């Protein structure tokens, strides 16, 4: 039998802060219809404005992903995460806290205020319950649509959702292995999760991630048409 600690350690070392889903790994969609759908904790009065913001973010993300190759996307993502979590963020905390949206919309101003409050250790996340793909759009949008604290709030929410997903998928991996001696279906779910990531998040994974993940399960290798020789090379 195996325990969840070993697979949890594996996931921690082989995945980065990416989109989080339930263990069923629901398909990712960021099309216009999906982006305009209701989100859990975004006030209904701002829904149309928020949907428009997300639609614009999606347009910019698509252009960025088409313009940059995988290495460039990975470098950009690293820089963005540093801005949101690294030393530079804390050195300039007063500046970030003073930033307000260029709008007179009271609801958008309130959202920014709540994000700043969150980054200072109080209040609730204004993006709580927002889907992972939308959080990704907010995090990596450097056009000025969102304050840096709003983008950090999106990052924090996505991180929290990811931890829930990791815990569930780790437990499923262990349960399947202890029941069948393999974790084939769970590995397929993890691979599906990876394949559905936005380009800027997939770019942050190691090379040959899918092959390395599947290397311990011949059923997954066969389904993916991956040979042991190709993994070892």
- 134-171: pLDDT as tens digits: 999 999 999 999 999 999 999 999 999 999 999 999 99
Is 24 contained in some domain?
no
- 174 and 131 within one domain: no
Instruction: Name, in order, each residue with C-beta under 8 angstroms of 143's C-beta and a sequence gap of 6 or more.
Output: 56, 57, 60
Is 128 contained in some domain?
yes
Is 71 contained in some domain?
yes
Q: CA–CA distance from 160 to each of 99, 140, 189 (Å)?
A: 25, 17, 20
Is 83 contained in some domain?
yes
Cα angle, residue 35 at apex, residues 121 and 23 outer, rounded to 5°: 70
Query: Taking Cα atoms as reference points, which of 219, 148, 143 lies closest to residue 181?
Result: 219
- 182 and 144 within one domain: no
Asked if 190 and 169 touch (Cβ cutoff 8 Å), the reply is yes
Q: Of 110, 142, 160, which closes a domain? A: 160
Asked if 112 and 127 touch (Cβ cutoff 8 Å), the reply is no
Burial of 75 (0-12, 13-18, 19+ CB in 10 A): middle
Q: Which of 18-27, 28-37, 88-97, 100-109 has the highest mean pLDDT?
A: 88-97
Higher pLDDT, 160 or 183: 160
- 116 and 67 within one domain: yes
pLDDT bucket at 183, cuts 50 / 70 / 90: confident
Asked if 221 and 208 touch (Cβ cutoff 8 Å), the reply is no
Is 135 contained in some domain?
yes
- Look at residue 93 and tell me whether its pLDDT is greater than 50: yes
Residue 218's domain comprises: 4-16+161-232
- 146 and 168 within one domain: no
* pLDDT score for 207: 84
- Look at residue 104 and tell me whether its pLDDT is greater than 60: yes
- 189 and 150 within one domain: no
- 155 and 117 within one domain: yes
- 214 and 120 within one domain: no
Q: Of 109, 137, 160, which closes a domain? A: 160
Look up the pTM and report it. Answer: 0.76
- 173 and 145 within one domain: no
Q: How far apart are CA 217 and CA 214, in angstroms?
A: 6
Q: Of 160, 180, 205, which closes a domain? A: 160
Q: How far apart are CA 30 and CA 233, in angstroms?
A: 36
* pLDDT score for 7: 45
- Look at residue 10 and tell me whether its pLDDT is greater than 60: no
Poorest-pLDDT segment among 20-24, 51-55, 213-217:
20-24
- 94 and 200 within one domain: no
Asked if 20 and 178 touch (Cβ cutoff 8 Å), the reply is no
Is 25 contained in some domain?
no
Is 26 contained in some domain?
no
Higher pLDDT, 113 or 33: 113
Q: How far apart are CA 185 and CA 206, in angstroms?
A: 22
Q: How far apart are CA 74 and CA 80, in angstroms?
A: 10
Domain count, the chain: 2
- The chain-wide mean pLDDT, for the chain, equals 80
- 189 and 142 within one domain: no
pLDDT bucket at 208, cuts 50 / 70 / 90: confident
pLDDT bucket at 22, cuts 50 / 70 / 90: very low
- 178 and 150 within one domain: no
- 180 and 113 within one domain: no
């Amino acid at each position: 039998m195996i325990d969840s600690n070993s697979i949890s350690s594996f996931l921690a070392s082989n995945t980065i802060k990416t989109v989080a889903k339930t263990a069923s790994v629901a398909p990712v969609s960021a099309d216009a219809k999906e982006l305009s759908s209701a989100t859990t904790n975004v006030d209904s009065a701002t829904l149309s404005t928020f949907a428009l913001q997300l639609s614009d973010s999606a347009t910019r993300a698509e252009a960025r992903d088409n313009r940059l190759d995988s290495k460039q996307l990975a470098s950009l993502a690293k820089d963005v995460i540093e801005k949101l979590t690294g030393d530079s963020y804390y050195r300039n905390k007063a500046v970030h806290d003073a930033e307000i949206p260029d709008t007179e919309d009271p609801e958008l101003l309130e959202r920014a205020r709540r994000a700043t409050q969150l980054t200072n250790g109080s209040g609730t996340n204004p993006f709580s319950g927002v889907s992972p793909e939308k959080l990704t759009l907010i995090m990596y949008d450097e056009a000025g649509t969102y304050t840096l604290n709003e983008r950090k709030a999106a990052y924090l929410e996505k991180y929290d959702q990811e931890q829930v997903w990791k815990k569930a998928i780790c437990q499923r991996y262990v349960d399947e292995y202890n029941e069948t001696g393999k974790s084939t279906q769970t590995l397929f779910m993890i691979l599906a999760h990876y394949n559905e990531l936005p380009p800027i998040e997939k770019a942050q994974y190691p090379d040959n991630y899918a092959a390395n993940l599947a290397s311990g399960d011949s059923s997954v290798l066969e389904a993916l048409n991956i040979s042991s020789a190709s993994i070892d090379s």
